[in-house]
Each structure stands twice: as structure tokens, then as C-alpha cells.
Structure 1
Amino acid sequence: MRTRKPVGLIAATSLGLLAACGSDGSDSGSGSGSEVQLTVSSFLTEDHPASRGFEAWMEEVTERTDGAVTFETFYNGSLCGAADSIACAEDRTADIVMSVPAYNPEMTLANIGSVAFQTSDLQANQDALNKLYQDNEDYRAEYENRGLTMLYTFNNSMPVLASVEPVSSLDQIAGMSLRASGSMSTGIAALGANPVAIDPAEIYESLERGVVDGATFPLESVVDYRLTEVAPHVYDLGEYMGSYAMNAYTMNLDAFESLSEDQQAVVREVSEEIAGSYVEEFLVPTMEENCSALAETGTTVERLGPDEVGQAWAERAGDAQRAAWEESAAELTDAPAMFDAYLSNIEEASTGEAPTTAEICAGV
């Protein structure tokens, strides 16, 4: 497994949960500790890049603990649904869950990653958030106070619009009813669209029956849910919106603390490595596969303009979303300072190379 320079997830937290690893990245000598099987729940498919990344995570953890830590995994929401994931980790229905802060608006600080229009550099964005979790005590406490610890946060691909009918410009989105959640809802509302909250499992039927005109999703979800069968016109919104929805693998704190210190160190070590390579190793290759799959059915991912409309949209909606998040977080932390630290982390981690979804698909 190739790894990028890590962002430093392994650092001491207020509960002393994170163990520092050797600077050479060698095995922690972590065979010590009793055997344990952890239950993992995801509402995603097994082929989703997030699932592929976590399969690699589980394999590495098992190997580096000499087989002492193993996993039983449930996909497709068979154990916990999307909106229930955090609660499932809290009550330990599952030891580890794939969670989405946007589906849990009470996770106010975690939803800083749901503020869109900040960057199109997906790896820099998730590196910035993982570092923010390391550095900001209030952010960590939001998880710890619920008996949770975040393993790592990671990006979806940038959003696309899957539409039943062709769309020729951003202006044409005004008046459309579109499935959206989280910051995507306020984002498309700023274009005059009508956002509709629909559970992911019900979107296909909603499009087929004309309940909505289209759905906004990352590309991998459009393919996973086979949405182009009923909404065959796909457009790149991420060129202007950038990263808009972060996910996190989240672990029950008691389950984490039940591991030996060596096993805990391995969990943090592997989390850092997967987070640091996720976009290159898992997300972009899956996007390329999805682009190819769509192309085989005659579907391409198209740009939407004009640029002046998109740029004005990004500035207007980005400022509004930041202001709304800061207002919601004002009683929990120094919200402006936290957001400034987040933007500083993005700038520090950015490589300047951030192809759009349309560009990635065009290169396949």
C-alpha cells in the first residue's frame, strides 16, 4: 500500500487515546493483547470507494495485530441505516460505523466539513479536517462526549447532478425539484432549485415516478444506486461547489479502550495511512471506473456554465454557508477561529492539483 505523507492523526488527545508511532512507519510490535472481533456497519455497498478503503484498513489492522483484531462487516444498511449510524455506535449495536455528519446535524462541529464551496482539492480537504480533529479539543469532545472516537474522516467525490431531462446551464436549475441533503440543499437552493430530502434507498423510485426532477450526489453514489437508468443526464456541479460532504469511520469509545495499548496504536497508525492515501488509492480509481461504466451506457459527465454564474454562485453560497455554520457553532467553540484554522489547514495541505469530475471522466 502506497502512502502519502501523513497528516499527523497520531497525537495525544484529552483522553490520551492516541499513541505515537515510530517515525519510520514500522510495525508497532502489536501482537500483544487478547483476541477481539469488532462489528462494522456501513450503509454503503461493498464496492464503494469508502468500503474499499476500509477493507484495506481492516486487513492492515488484522495483519499488524498478528490476527488478534478481526472484523465482522455489514454492508448496504443491513445492520444500521445512514441516519442511524451514530446512534448505532453509541449504543454499540456496531463497534465501528461509516457515518455522515450531514445526516446527524446535532454533530455541529463535525459538520464544518459539510460547508461547501471552500476547496476542490479533495485530499487537502480531508487532510485539513483530520488535522483539525487532532488539534481542536472541542471537535474531539463532540465525539468523546457521546462515547465515540473518530478513526478518520474522508471525502466523497465532488457533487454531480443526475437529471431526468437535459439541463443546458446553471440558470436552468432554478425551479427544479432535486434530491439533496446537508449543504447541498442550501447550495442548490441558492440557484433557485427546490431541495427535497429523500433517503438514499428511495431515490431511484422517486426519480422513476417523477417525485423529483433529479438528484445531487457524488458520482460513486450515482453509479451505486444505478440512478442513470432513470436520470441519464449527468452534470458536474463540483467545479464550483467543491467538496461538500465529509464522511467518517467512527468507533465506540469503550470498544476502542477495550483494545490493548499496542492494538490502539495500530488502529491509529493505519487510520493515518489510509486517510493520507484515500483519494489517490481509492477514490480517484473508483471514479475512473465509474466514468468508464457510464460511458459504456452512453452517459458522460458534462460541465455546466456559464462560468460567471458559477463563480458568483460559489462566492454567494460559500459565504452564506460559512456564516450559518459559525452561528450554529457559536456556543460550542470559537467558531470563526476554528473555521480559519480549517482553511489554513486546507491551504497548507493543498497541492494545487485538483481535477474536476468532468475532467477525470474526460480522461478515461
Structure 2
Amino acid sequence: MSHKCFGFMVAAMMSVSAPAMAQETTFKFAHFLPASHLMWEEGGRIFTDAVVEASGGTVKWNVYPAAQLGKDSLAVLSANLADVSLIAPSYAQEKFPLSAVVELPGGYSTSCEGTAKFWHLSQPGGFLAQEEFDALDIHPLFVLTLSPYKVMTSQRQVERLEDMAGLKLRVTGEAMDKTVRALGGVPVRIQSSEMYDSISRGTVDGALYPFGGVTPYKLEEVLHNAVGGPRLGSGIVIYAMSKKGWDRLPEDMKAIFTEAAAMAQEAACAAQDREDSQIRDQIVADAGFKAMDLPAEESARWDAALEPVVQDWAARMDAQGKKGSQALEAYRAASPEF
């Protein structure tokens, strides 16, 4: 987001909100990312800066990156260690089973398209808000769907579906797990911060991963190939407060947070889409990385192999007494625009 656009939007927020803000308040924002990660710089930071400016400087933030307050982002909120926390539902799949609908293959082609659909389900009154988030005592400020995953490998260059056979690929949740299995690979659950060592040691052969997440963890040093084309799904995150924390905010503060969050959400997904292309070009030029897109005919073979994953997920959720089919219906009906 340009500084000119950012300044204009903040000025508009200040014109209606700043006079009501008087007492200085400091909030804590915790996340598990490196301090300079794109999801912080083009998401969390835009939100916090907008709140500070719109409040006339009465709001301040203490930011705790790299899981300094704990690896369990949901527990960080529930224990009141932070006011705002970045949550990756796939890291706590047992608590966010229905959220996996957003991570399933075939749902979207860009981060902004996926983010808009995710937000419509997550905002107050949305399907996920009612069926999952309210019970967890979380109030999403904004959400983000990462750019669609590519198959990235250390050694083997994947050029056709058969090349996926036996590949051990990093995943973080059930949707990714089923996607890799459907393509013939072997899923291994590993967090992003552990990927470098796991690839270096040969614990995994690669990952389903977006280009935008490669350089923050220096993965271009251990990953050397990528293939795109099929819509493989991706990861999601929620920038959230506890519902109790949200309810304690005065109405003028809620208005400021809401406006800042909407601004940050659109900036974050636009940055994901922009950086995905830029980082791909960068590591191809500088690190000797090989990146290719499958031909349309081959991509169609992958899409056909992945089609049962979506229906199987919904059926299994239904069998467990969860509203999988309703979640899928709500997601498919959600608008791809904010």
C-alpha cells in the first residue's frame, strides 16, 4: 500500500474517531513470525500504525515477534498475555476443524480472492464465526489467505503427477495432508520455523509452500525447484483478539480497530500476491532456483486427482458431527471480493 493512500485513509479515520480518544492505552500484539516477515510488515504493522495514527497517538503497541510469548497463539490470548495474536488454524487443527475448508484445493487463484472468501465466513455473523470462533472466544480483526501453494522440492523436479510418488512433503493441517496423499506424496507435519533443518537433514523432500514464505526463512538455500498450475489450496491466518477483550473496548476504539483492520486486510493480501511473483523472480535469478508451471493438460490431471479430497473432507466432518457440508457450501457461496 502506498504511503499516500495509507495517509489518506488514516486521515479519514482520524476525522471521525480521534476526538473521542483521550486516555493513553498500550496494547500487546504477539505473533510467531520473524520480526520482518511480510505478514507482519504488510499486515500487522499496517494495522497497528493505522490505529496509532487514528487515535491521535493515544494508543501504543508493544509487539512480540517470533513466539516470544508462547507458541500456542490461542493460549496467548486466553491467558491474557497479549491483546492481539496471530493464529494459524492449521497449527491447532483440533480446535479449528471447520476452518480447514479455506485451505482445501480448488478454492481460489490469488491471495486476495481467498482472503475475501475467508473474511465473509469469519466476520461477525459469518459461518465460521458462529460455528467455530465464538466458542473459542476469539474475535477476528482481519484474516489472510496465503498465496496458492506450489510444490517445492530440494532435489526432484516435479513435471508430472507421477513424479509426486513417495515425495515427503511438509504440511501443516488436514487439508494439506489429504492434498499431498491424493497426489501420491507422503505428508509430514512441520511448522515453518522447522522447515530449513528438516529439509537439510532429509526429513522431508520439500513442501507445499508459497513463494512469499521462502526468503524469510532462507529456504532458497535448501529448496531448488517449484511447480505451479493446479490450485493446491494454501494456509490461512487470523489476526484476532479475544471476544472478552474486544467487548471491553469502548465503541470509539472498536471503530478505529475495525477501520484499521479492513485497511490492513486488503494490504496484506495484495502484498502476498505481489511478493509471490517478485520472490519467484528473485530466487530464480539469484539462487539458481527452477520454477515452472504445468501445462494445462497436466494441471487438469492434478485437479481431477484432487477433486475427491474436498468431498471427502466434508463427508468426514459430517460423520464427526461437525457441519462440513454446510461449511463447504458457505465457502463456495462466499464472494471473492471484499
TM range (shorter): 0.7 to 0.9
Whole-Å Cα distance in 2 between the matches of residues 68 and 326 of structure 1? 50
Instruction: Tell me the amino acid that sits aligned with residue 123 of structure 1.
Output: C
Q: Does 1:126 align with 2:118?
A: no
Greater CA drift, 138-147 or 185-194: 138-147
Q: Would the aligned equivalents of 2:169 and 2:187 in 1 still touch at CA under 8 Å?
A: yes
CA 1:341–1:198 in 2, change beyond 3 Å: closer, same or farther? Answer: closer
Instruction: Tell me the amino acid that sits aligned with residue 92 of structure 2.
Output: N
Whole-Å Cα distance in 2 between the matches of residues 230 and 50 of structure 1? 22
- How far residue 173 of structure 1 moved from its aligned partner, in angstroms, is 1.4
Whole-Å Cα distance in 2 between the matches of residues 213 and 109 of structure 1? 29
CA 1:333–1:205 in 2, change beyond 3 Å: closer, same or farther? Answer: closer
Q: Which residue of 2 aligns with 1:140?
A: 129
Q: Would the aligned equivalents of 2:313 and 2:324 in 1 still touch at CA under 8 Å?
A: no
Q: Which residue of 2 aligns with 1:305?
A: 294
CA 1:250–1:297 in 2, change beyond 3 Å: closer, same or farther? Answer: same
SS state at 1:119 partner: coil
Q: Would the aligned equivalents of 2:86 and 2:240 in 1 still touch at CA under 8 Å?
A: yes
Whole-Å Cα distance in 2 between the matches of residues 195 and 332 of structure 1? 26
Q: Which residue of 2 aligns with 1:249?
A: 239
Whole-Å Cα distance in 2 between the matches of residues 134 and 213 of structure 1? 37
Instruction: Tell me the amino acid that sits aligned with residue 181 of structure 2.
Output: A
- How far residue 123 of structure 1 moved from its aligned partner, in angstroms, is 1.1
Q: Does 1:259 align with 2:260?
A: no
Whole-Å Cα distance in 2 between the matches of residues 56 and 309 of structure 1? 40
Whole-Å Cα distance in 2 between the matches of residues 35 and 173 of structure 1? 56
Report how many aligned residue pairs link the two structures: 324
Q: Would the aligned equivalents of 1:115 and 1:322 in 2 still touch at CA under 8 Å?
A: no
Whole-Å Cα distance in 2 between the matches of residues 135 and 249 of structure 1? 14
Pick from 89, 110, 126 the counterpart of residue 77 of structure 2.
89
Q: Which residue of 1 aligns with 2:224?
A: 232
Pick from 74, 77, 80 the counterpart of residue 64 of structure 2.
74
Q: Would the aligned equivalents of 1:179 and 1:195 in 2 still touch at CA under 8 Å?
A: yes
Q: Would the aligned equivalents of 1:31 and 1:68 in 2 still touch at CA under 8 Å?
A: no
Whole-Å Cα distance in 2 between the matches of residues 175 and 87 of structure 1? 36
Whole-Å Cα distance in 2 between the matches of residues 311 and 104 of structure 1? 32
- How far residue 331 of structure 1 moved from its aligned partner, in angstroms, is 6.9
CA 1:78–1:131 in 2, change beyond 3 Å: closer, same or farther? Answer: same
SS state at 2:123 partner: helix
Whole-Å Cα distance in 2 between the matches of residues 318 and 72 of structure 1? 44
Greater CA drift, 252-261 or 314-323: 314-323
Instruction: Tell me the amino acid that sits aligned with residue 217 of structure 1.
Output: Y
Provide the alpha-carbon RMSD of the alignment.
2.6
CA 1:307–1:97 in 2, change beyond 3 Å: closer, same or farther? Answer: same
Q: Does 1:103 align with 2:103?
A: no
Q: Which residue of 1 aligns with 2:165?
A: 174
SS state at 1:44 partner: coil
Q: Would the aligned equivalents of 1:173 and 1:192 in 2 still touch at CA under 8 Å?
A: yes
In proportion to residue count, which structure has more helix? 2
What does 1:162-201 align with in structure 2 at a 5 Å threshold? 162-170=152-160, 171-182=162-173, 183-201=175-193
Q: Does 1:287 align with 2:279?
A: no
In structure 2, list runs of 5 or more residues that go unmatched. Answer: 4-11
Q: Which residue of 2 aligns with 1:221?
A: 213
Provide Cα deviations, 1:223-251, integer angstroms capped at 9, x if missing partner. 21112212222x133x2124422111011
Provide Cα deviations, 1:247-296, integer angstroms capped at 9, x if missing partner. 1101122222232110011111111222234332x223433442343134
- How far residue 157 of structure 1 moved from its aligned partner, in angstroms, is 1.7
- How far residue 332 of structure 1 moved from its aligned partner, in angstroms, is 6.8
- How far residue 116 of structure 1 moved from its aligned partner, in angstroms, is 2.1
CA 1:329–1:225 in 2, change beyond 3 Å: closer, same or farther? Answer: farther
In structure 1, list runs of 5 or more residues that go unmatched. Answer: 4-23, 351-364
Q: Would the aligned equivalents of 1:164 and 1:214 in 2 still touch at CA under 8 Å?
A: yes
Whole-Å Cα distance in 2 between the matches of residues 303 and 244 of structure 1? 18
Greater CA drift, 259-268 or 105-114: 105-114
Q: Which residue of 1 aligns with 2:7?
A: none
- How far residue 207 of structure 1 moved from its aligned partner, in angstroms, is 1.4
Q: Would the aligned equivalents of 1:174 and 1:192 in 2 still touch at CA under 8 Å?
A: yes
Q: Would the aligned equivalents of 2:98 and 2:128 in 1 still touch at CA under 8 Å?
A: yes
Provide Cα deviations, 1:29-50, integer angstroms capped at 9, x if missing partner. 2443532211111111233221
Q: Would the aligned equivalents of 2:111 and 2:272 in 1 still touch at CA under 8 Å?
A: no
